[in-house]
Amino acid sequence: MRVELIAHTPEPELTVARAARLCYSSADYKTISAKIVKERAQQFVRQLIQVGHLSAIEHASFTFLIEGVSRAMTHQLVRHRLASYSQQSQRYVSHQARKSGGQFPYIIPPSVIKADMKEWFEEKMRQIQNWYDELCEKLQAIGLEGEDVYQDARYILPNATQTRIMVTMNARELRHFFSLRCCNRAQWEIRSVAIEMLKKVKTVAPSLFEDAGPPCLRGPCPEGHRSCGKAEQVRSFFKSL
């Protein structure tokens, strides 16, 4: 799995602070911008987040390239609707062994390895590869080509199939995403991705994300009897990022 922050709003904290100050000032934007330096912007951003005035932080956006993840993970990711996505297509990209250079790439869950089922899992993936290739050949034999073949052959591919996706979210949606997906109760793969995304944005906009993460960083756990019961360890981990 690889997560890369490939683009973001230039000087995101300054942009947010200036947008927020615009709401409370009669001065023109040039004057407002001149008065807000980076250190002052960070302090202002912290105040906005503390009091819950979050509309201004939507002016900062961040774009990530996420690779080496499963379709099972991206099916969860795209449920976050206030975002833009571009994902590798299984309609236009062939997974035929003769075109892709062999076995289609896939993700093995850690639990499968722990259960000593890695070889069994790999054998099933090879079997699915054979089925996919066979189906492609049969569809080609009736005169179909290109995406007309792949769009139907993909029905046999598993959720484990590896993919890549580009994601753009604004800071407000990212904070909401981190609140849900950095929690210990989140599925392991999307949690790993969320943590890597959080690490990346903290380097370019620390005041926007210094308290970002699961809800137990900012108060009591909302999960009730389903809580992981590890709030102190979770807080320690995220404070160290």
Are the C-beta atoms of 45 and 172 separated by less than 8 Å? no
Nearest one of 56, 75, 73 to 15, comparing CA atoms: 56
Give the model confidence (pLDDT) of 9-65 as tens digits: 999 999 999 999 998 888 888 888 888 888 889 999 999 999 999 999 999 999 999
Given this model, what pLDDT does residue 71 score? Answer: 98
Give the model confidence (pLDDT) of 129-159 as tens digits: 999 999 999 999 999 999 999 999 999 999 9
**Mean residue pLDDT across the chain:** 95
pLDDT surpassing 80 at residue 99: no
Contacts 24+ apart (CB under 8 A), 76-83: 76/181, 76/187, 76/190, 77/165, 77/167, 77/190, 77/193, 80/169, 80/173, 80/176, 80/177, 82/169, 82/170, 82/172, 82/173, 83/167, 83/168, 83/169, 83/173, 83/177
Cite the residue boundaries of each domain of the chain with CATH code 3.30.1360.170: 2-86+163-239
Given this model, what pLDDT does residue 199 score? Answer: 98
Question: Helices marked H in the chain — which ranges?
Answer: 12-22, 29-35, 38-51, 71-77, 97-100, 110-114, 118-141, 147-153, 171-181, 188-204, 206-209, 231-239
Given this model, what pLDDT does residue 108 score? Answer: 98
Given this model, what pLDDT does residue 198 score? Answer: 98
Given this model, what pLDDT does residue 186 score? Answer: 97
Are the C-beta atoms of 197 and 174 separated by less than 8 Å? yes
pTM of the predicted model as reported, rounded to 2 decimal places: 0.94
- CB contact set of 33 (below 8 Å; sequence gap of 6+): 14, 18
What is the DSSP-derived secondary structure letter of residue 59? G
pLDDT surpassing 90 at residue 104: yes
pLDDT surpassing 80 at residue 97: yes
Given this model, what pLDDT does residue 36 score? Answer: 85
Of 6-10, 60-64, 218-222, the one with minimum mean pLDDT is 218-222
Q: Please state, in angstroms and rounded to a whole number, the distance separating the CA atoms of residues 181 and 101.
A: 34
Is-catalytic flag, 181?
A: yes
Are the C-beta atoms of 208 and 171 separated by less than 8 Å? yes
Name 170's bridge partners.
61
Given this model, what pLDDT does residue 27 score? Answer: 85
Are the C-beta atoms of 122 and 158 separated by less than 8 Å? no
| Residue among 18, 71, 172, 181 flagged as catalytic | 181
Given this model, what pLDDT does residue 17 score? Answer: 94
Given this model, what pLDDT does residue 82 score? Answer: 96
Residue 239's alpha-carbon distances to 167, 193, 198, in angstroms, are 25, 18, 12
Q: What is the CATH number of domain 2-86+163-239?
A: 3.30.1360.170
Q: Please state, in angstroms and rounded to a whole number, the distance separating the CA atoms of residues 157 and 189.
A: 19
